[in-house]
A and B are shown apart, each in its own frame.
Chain A
Amino acid sequence: MSCPDKFVEYMHDFLDEDIAPENERELRAHLQTCQACETHFKELKKAVAFVQSTAHVKAPDHFTAGVMAALPKERKKVEVNRWFKQHPFLAAASLFILLMGASILSTWNQEQQFSFSKQPNLIVEDDTVIVPEGEVVKGDIVVRNGKLKIEGEVQGDVTVINGEQYMASAGKVTGEISEVNEVFEWIWYHIKETAKSTVNLGEGDKQSLEP
C-alpha cells in the first residue's frame, strides 16, 4: 500500500511546529487508520529525541585564554592607555619609580647641593638666587637647596626645593609659585609631574584598531 506524499510532509510540518490546523486534523485522522504512517511518524520523533538527548558539551578549559593569545596584538598604546585609565595614580607612581628607580637615592643626595635654573640675568649671592629689580626673567625658575629673592619679574613658574623664596614688593611672578621641602614632597612633586605628562600621552591617542 502507498499513502499520498502529503502525509509525510504534514509530519514534518508538524515537527517544525508550522502546520495548518486542518492539515493537522487530517494527519491525526490518517494516523489512526494507517499503521505504516504511524510507524513512520514514531520513527521520526524517535530520531529527533535521540539527537536532542545527546549531552551538552562544554568548551575545554582555557578555551578563552587560547583565543585571546592567538589574537593579533593590539597596538601597544591602547594597552598602555587602558592600564593608565584604570590605575591613574598607580601608573604615575610606578612610572616614576621605573624612571627614577635605582638612582633615586643618589639623585636625592646629588640634589642636596645648591643648584638653580640658568637664566642669564639671574644674580647669585652665596646660596641666594636673585631676580634683580627691573629685570624680566623668562621661563620657569627652579632653585634647589637655596633661597630665591624676587625683586624683578618672572615670566613663568617658580619652584623652590628645600629652600625659601622672598618676594619683594616690586616682584612679580606670572606663573605658579611652589615650595617643596621634605623628601616626601619632593617625590610627590615628581609623581605629579609624571602623572601630568602621562595624561597628556593618553589624551593624544585616539586610535582604534581599524586600519
Chain B
Amino acid sequence: METIVNSRISQVLKGDQNAYGEIVELYKDKIFQLCYRMLGNRHEAEDIAQEAFIRAYINIHSFNQNKKFSSWIYRIATNLCIDRIRKKKPDYFLDAEVPGTDGLNMYSQIASETSLPEEELESLELQETVQKEIAKLPEKYRTVIVLKYIEELSLNEISEILDLPLGTVKTRMHRGREALRQQLRNV
C-alpha cells in the first residue's frame, strides 16, 4: 500500500491533483473514524477530516517519502482534533450533550426507522454509552485509546504519530484504561 501511495504522491508533486483523490480514498474511512471518535460528532468529524486532507495536500512537499504516509496523515488529523477539542466553548459542549444532536440523533433515527430486535437496540445504546465515555476522557488519554483500540495501531506507530517517547505513550495508555475502567465498570 505504501508503494502505491508513494507513487501517487510523486504524481501529486508533479502537479497532478487527481492522483491525490486516490490517496484520500485510501485513508478517508480511517481518518474520518479517528475524528468521529475523538470529537463525538459526525458533522465536526467530517469537517476536521477534510481539513486534515487539505492540509496534507498543501504541505505534501514537506512529507518525507521514507516515512509512512498513514502516520503523517494520522498526525495531522490528531492535532486538528486536539485543537478543536481545546477550542470548544463550554456552551458548545453542552449543546453536544443535548438529545437531538448528532450522536443521539443517529441512534434515535435508526431506532425509529427500523424495528430492531431488542438486543440490537441494546447494542446501539451501549455504543452510545461507550462513545460518550470515550468523549469524557482528557484528550491526551482519548487520543492514545482511540488510536490503539479503534484504529488498531501499535504502540510504536502511536509513538511515531504523536512524536512522543514510547514510555509516555504507555503511561497515557495505562491512565486512559484506568479512567475507562472507572467509567464503564457499572455498565
The interface of chain A, by Cβ under 8 A from chain B, is 8-9, 12, 15-16, 18, 40, 43-44, 46-48, 50-60, 63-64, 66-68, 70-72, 74-75, 78-79, 82, 207-210
The answer to whether B15 and A208 have CB atoms under 8 Å apart is yes
Contacts of B180 in A (CB 8 A): 47-48, 50-51
The answer to whether B24 and A68 have CB atoms under 8 Å apart is yes
Q: Within the complex, which residue of A15, A57, A68 is in contact with B17, where a contact is CB–CB below 8 Å?
A: A68
Q: Within the complex, which residue of B21, B33, B155 is in contact with A68, where a contact is CB–CB below 8 Å?
A: B21
Cα–Cα, bound, A43→B13 (Å): 49
The answer to whether A12 and B46 have CB atoms under 8 Å apart is no
Contacts of A56 in B (CB 8 A): 29, 33
Contacts of A58 in B (CB 8 A): 29, 32-33
Contacts of B155 in A (CB 8 A): 16, 18
The interface of chain B, by Cβ under 8 A from chain A, is 12-18, 20-21, 24-25, 28-29, 31-33, 36-37, 42, 46, 49-50, 53-54, 57-58, 60-61, 126-127, 130-131, 133-134, 145, 149-150, 155, 170, 173-174, 177-178, 180-181, 183-185, 187
Contacts of A44 in B (CB 8 A): 177-178, 181
Contacts of A55 in B (CB 8 A): 127
The answer to whether B187 and A54 have CB atoms under 8 Å apart is no
Shortest beta-carbon distance, B124 to chain A, in Å?
9
**Also in contact, A67 and B173, with CB within 8 A (given A48-B149, A210-B13):** no
The answer to whether A209 and B15 have CB atoms under 8 Å apart is yes
Give 11 A-B contacts (CB < 8 Å), ordered by A residue: A43-B184, A43-B185, A48-B180, A51-B150, A56-B29, A63-B32, A63-B50, A67-B21, A68-B20, A70-B54, A210-B61
Shortest beta-carbon distance, B122 to chain A, in Å?
12
Contacts of B21 in A (CB 8 A): 64, 67-68
The answer to whether A82 and B28 have CB atoms under 8 Å apart is no
Shortest beta-carbon distance, B32 to chain A, in Å?
4
Given contacts A46-B181, A209-B13, 6 further A-B contacts (CB under 8 A): A51-B149, A57-B29, A60-B46, A67-B50, A67-B53, A82-B18
Contacts of B57 in A (CB 8 A): 67, 71-72
Contacts of A74 in B (CB 8 A): 15-17
The answer to whether B29 and A71 have CB atoms under 8 Å apart is no
Closest to B51 in A: A70
Contacts of B178 in A (CB 8 A): 8, 44
Closest to B17 in A: A74
Shortest beta-carbon distance, B91 to chain A, in Å?
26
Shortest beta-carbon contacts, A-B, top 5: A59-B32, A78-B15, A47-B180, A59-B28, A12-B174
**Also in contact, A78 and B54, with CB within 8 A (given A54-B130, A64-B21):** no
**Also in contact, A63 and B20, with CB within 8 A (given A48-B177, A208-B14, A209-B13):** no
Contacts of B133 in A (CB 8 A): 50
Cα–Cα, bound, A54→B178 (Å): 19
Contacts of A70 in B (CB 8 A): 50, 54
Closest to A60 in B: B46
Cα–Cα, bound, A32→B154 (Å): 30
**Also in contact, A209 and B12, with CB within 8 A (given A54-B37, A67-B53, A70-B50):** yes
The answer to whether B32 and A50 have CB atoms under 8 Å apart is no
Closest to B49 in A: A59
Cα–Cα, bound, A8→B181 (Å): 12
